[in-house]
Chain A
């Protein structure tokens, strides 16, 4: 009984100690190279906003809403804007199954050619939901960095996915605020 108590105490102490060790600051500046390919996962409208923010940030980008592996040629970074839109999927003649296949094939191709992945979620709370979350859960662990509009991470969904993989996660208040960390992220 006494041994069990001591064991539990040590385990508890170790847990607390591990939690309180300051994490190594995560690098979020100058970690990606240009040019970048911007696409969406879920045919959301925010992909267009991401392109405008990239333009304002002075980045050399190409926007392709339904990008495939072929579009990765000469690209040094893949930017995926996360969020499922039934409207967008309908307009593109896609369903979530086909969209998932496209996105995962694109990421696989990017990994093969060592093109890193930057994920954005710009739609806030309203661009969450089961379909979006399922896709995010699959894509996010493969990212090198993530930028989200804060209201979309109210339940710490992104935090919970990023922390175990030590993926840098930047939260911003408003969509327009994404421009600065986006700019800084690129060399």
Chain B
């Protein structure tokens, strides 16, 4: 399943066989379509299936999810098996020490629901808890016990399985346990992230931790094993999630947090509950969008962004043309101003969701954007640019043979989270308290039991009432911008799914009312960048395929062709498999 292997010819043969099998009567048991991606990992390549598909950021996680589907599990079972396997195979991006959101579409019931398993602040949290640390604020926010919010992943997985799955948590964890025990060869992505986060890891990891290789970062090809995580997951599989929230694992978790200056208590952990929510709905032309509502902000801003874009002739302008990049960047700057001003935990603050995603509001933004140059200010709020530019988090999608779909985004925030591992447990603790605003007056200031605003935005898009695209991405505040560009690449520019994912991306924002630069991947044509600069836009050129812009995964259902396509981002180690 690796994108690195050169089996182009075999892939073509397999695709030809697949096409032939589609013409034949399809009464037999579905066979797996062996997709062989091209040697160049960045070459657009869609994984093909007839009825089921799993896409995720690591081949072993995809394998675990697909195995679950093959054994009769549904999309929810497959998604949780994949999510758990990512904890073992891509431990730097998500895991049981973190949280997230998933959107589930139940085909038979024609119903879509959201599970919010975002972490919560401990009950001793307060708006000034980081501010009071003075110059050391940044460090406390990201790599101390104070940075750790109460993890929600296991509660969310458990809720989804009990309510919508067909398999037990123990069955869903089996793949992850095997990966953690047997290990795998580290990819260049893993290695480079491990190296980039080395300083924090050295600070917080105990000697001999598996997250470093004899005290140094892993290099590509080195074997990574995590027997402690295997033991932890096995214990949870046998005793249930209460072992994590109220048992020995929980006690170790709280002890680790407190030893590093944190304020989490056993009561915080024991009282954690995942929530089921109604999805947030929006539309773009003939497409209906269902996504996770606040405190997830990715989907809301995507809807807001598309409402604005709907008023512009983007197809005429052309993908990544000068007017396209200019206008969309201007809109992003307005949206970031709103984001800082209005987004917080709806359990504690009033978020004007329907106003923000109204078309009237979008019209207001459109009327302010100039065609010929950037504005001098974007006066709605203040988005503080993050000094770090991590593209952490992970996203997966699963489609089962009955048409059920799950899009799940989960995270431990920064890569490797805080770098804190509860003794002997093998899992990393999140630093999601850093997602609270620094400004104590902000609607997103830390508070007891508050969930920090999240940039996540798992989506399912529908046409004529039927799902046709599940999508999501990591990438912090760039998530909704990247997802919007992928949606436009598909709906406006006629691209295939992976072509849409791999296409060059850009991003902009505003800070304190002033425009930030337009960050672009180095694949943008020089003449576009020259023209943007001539308009007065500041342009920042990043790597050709930069994980700064996320690592999107998606599944597209092509009903007319009776196939499903999986798209997985080569900016990270995304892969897919289907049958």
Contact = CB atoms under 8 A, between A and B. Distances in A.
Interface of A: 45-46, 48-49, 52, 85-87, 90-91, 93, 123-124, 126, 129, 174-176
A87 B217 contact: no
14 contacts: A45-B196, A45-B199, A46-B195, A48-B199, A49-B198, A49-B216, A52-B215, A85-B196, A87-B388, A87-B389, A123-B195, A175-B217, A175-B219, A176-B214
B242 interface: no
5 interchain residue pairs of minimum CB distance = A48-B199, A45-B196, A126-B192, A45-B198, A45-B195
B560 interface: no
B197 interface: yes
A123 B199 CA distance: 15
A48 B198 contact: yes
Contacts of A124: 219
Nearest to B197: A45
Interface in B184-200: 188, 191-192, 195-199
Interface in B217-232: 217, 219
A133 to B, nearest CB: 13
B543 interface: yes
A48 B202 contact: yes
B215 A93 contact: no
B542 interface: yes
B527 interface: no
A95 to B, nearest CB: 9
B387 A91 contact: yes
B179 interface: no
Contacts of A46: 195
Nearest to B194: A45
A84 to B, nearest CB: 11
B67 to A, nearest CB: 32
Contacts of A175: 216-217, 219
A49 B387 contact: no
B571 to A, nearest CB: 13
Contacts of B216: 49, 52, 175-176
Interface string B384-400: 00011110000000000
A46 B214 CA distance: 16
A86 B217 contact: no
Contacts of B191: 126
Nearest to A88: B196
Contacts of A45: 195-199
A91 B543 CA distance: 18
Contact of A49 (B192, B217, B389): B217
A48 B195 CA distance: 9
Contact of B542 (A49, A86, A91, A174): A86
A129 B522 CA distance: 11
B503 to A, nearest CB: 21
A174 B222 CA distance: 11
Given A49-B198, A129-B543, A90 B217 contact: no
Given A49-B217, A52-B216, A129-B543, A93 B199 contact: no
A50 to B, nearest CB: 11
B202 A87 contact: no
A99 to B, nearest CB: 15
A124 B219 CA distance: 10
A46 B389 CA distance: 18
A87 B219 CA distance: 20
Given A45-B198, A46-B195, A85-B196, 5 more contacts: A45-B197, A48-B198, A86-B389, A86-B548, A129-B543
A49 B194 CA distance: 11
Nearest to B546: A86
A93 B385 CA distance: 11
Contacts of B215: 52
Contact of A90 (B195, B197, B214, B389): B389
